[in-house]
Homo-oligomer: A and B are copies of this chain.
């Protein structure tokens, strides 16, 4: 096993380049997508698929989903290097969702550079993002690890389960975003995270369990670990946005109070609306709804969250979820090194900005 988790990144990128080379030619197209009936246009496909995909990947990203997959595979007693193509499945899916989400949100910046749809046009970006939903699923058919048919089918059925729920989660999040009032409670918020963010984590864990032929209880346990970690991560992300903003009060930068400006219904917002005086709750929702907030409005919203104890509440929930994640894999019999790495993921969730 590599010494640190980050050591895997170059190997993951090489495995992705085996699936989608940086330079596309007819031989690659024939071998990956099948013979053309007439004639492929490799130049067009280069510009529509490989160039935008590698532009996004080369901007960074820690390939955590691929690395977590490899940690599980090693924890299950198999050689991670043999399963590198499968590690690319959640990683390419994840990057595809980033491109599509940015189109949905009309995002301007991604990983410090213009969002892909601003570089290549909405049509190319969207088609590349959607292609990245199906390209990784083909890996199971190519079957580099020579898996028996029942495991390939189980992997497809698992992927269909999780990818359907991903779109439910995204659908809930978008719906709320477009609503004036904070209509939902904590349980719906956690479900949205479990579906939208958690399902991709569950794919990582379940895929590792399925291809190494683990019993259902183990697959279930690692799926719970991954879902809980992802939900905690999502809450941690929202907390960071608030803390970052409070720390920057008065700096008047673009980075200040992003989630409030976007009107995001975070766990903190839901908690604050439930636990504030009616007029303060009303004021918070008005600020979230408005398009033309001043920095003073943003600070006021942040102070309503703080005064309601919502930041502390969210941090407690995130820590609790991370602890539940660690408990979920207790007793699975992983070696100490694997347990240490899996704990590290759950700690990173809350502490990554410190």
What per-residue 1/0 map shows which CB atoms of A148-167 lie under 8 Å from chain B? 01101100110011011101
Across the interface, do B130 and A100 meet the contact criterion of CB distance under 8 Å?
Answer: yes
A123 within 8 A of B: yes
A333 within 8 A of B: no
Across the interface, do A131 and B34 meet the contact criterion of CB distance under 8 Å?
Answer: no
Given contacts A153-B149, A188-B39, contact A123 B104 (CB under 8 A): yes
Across the interface, do A174 and B48 meet the contact criterion of CB distance under 8 Å?
Answer: yes
Q: Nearest-CB distance from A200 to chain B (Å)?
A: 13
Across the interface, do A127 and B174 meet the contact criterion of CB distance under 8 Å?
Answer: yes
Q: Nearest-CB distance from A3 to chain B (Å)?
A: 35
List chain B residues, Cβ under 8 A from A121.
Answer: 174, 178
From B47, B130, B190, A38 is in contact (CB under 8 Å) with B190
A137 within 8 A of B: yes
Q: Nearest-CB distance from A274 to chain B (Å)?
A: 15
Instruction: Give the copy number.
Output: 2
For chain A, the bracket of interface size reads 35 or more
Which chain A residues (38-73) contact chain B, with CB distance < 8 Å?
A: 38-41, 43-45, 47-49
Q: Nearest-CB distance from A8 to chain B (Å)?
A: 26
CA distance A121 to B176 in the complex (A): 13
List chain B residues, Cβ under 8 A from A156.
Answer: 141, 153, 156
CA distance A33 to B160 in the complex (A): 10
Given contacts A38-B187, A41-B192, A104-B127, contact A157 B175 (CB under 8 A): no
Which chain A residues (277-332) contact chain B, with CB distance < 8 Å?
A: none
Across the interface, do B149 and A123 meet the contact criterion of CB distance under 8 Å?
Answer: no
From B131, B150, B183, B188, A167 is in contact (CB under 8 Å) with B131
A84 within 8 A of B: no
Which chain A residues (116-175) contact chain B, with CB distance < 8 Å?
A: 121-124, 126-128, 130-131, 133-135, 137-138, 140-141, 149-150, 152-153, 156-157, 160-161, 163-165, 167-168, 170-172, 174-175
From B127, B176, B184, A171 is in contact (CB under 8 Å) with B127
A residues sitting closer than 8 Å to B (CB atoms) are: 29, 32-34, 36-41, 43-45, 47-49, 100, 103-106, 121-124, 126-128, 130-131, 133-135, 137-138, 140-141, 149-150, 152-153, 156-157, 160-161, 163-165, 167-168, 170-172, 174-178, 183-185, 187-188, 190-192, 194, 198, 227
Given contacts A40-B188, A41-B176, A152-B153, 20 further A-B contacts (CB under 8 A): A32-B164, A33-B164, A33-B168, A37-B191, A38-B190, A39-B188, A44-B184, A44-B188, A48-B170, A48-B174, A48-B175, A49-B168, A121-B178, A123-B178, A126-B126, A127-B174, A131-B164, A140-B157, A140-B160, A149-B149
Which 4 interchain pairs have the tightest Cβ spacing?
A: A48-B171, A44-B175, A39-B187, A131-B167
12 contacts between A and B (CB under 8 A): A34-B165, A38-B194, A40-B191, A45-B171, A45-B175, A49-B171, A104-B123, A104-B126, A124-B178, A130-B133, A130-B167, A149-B149
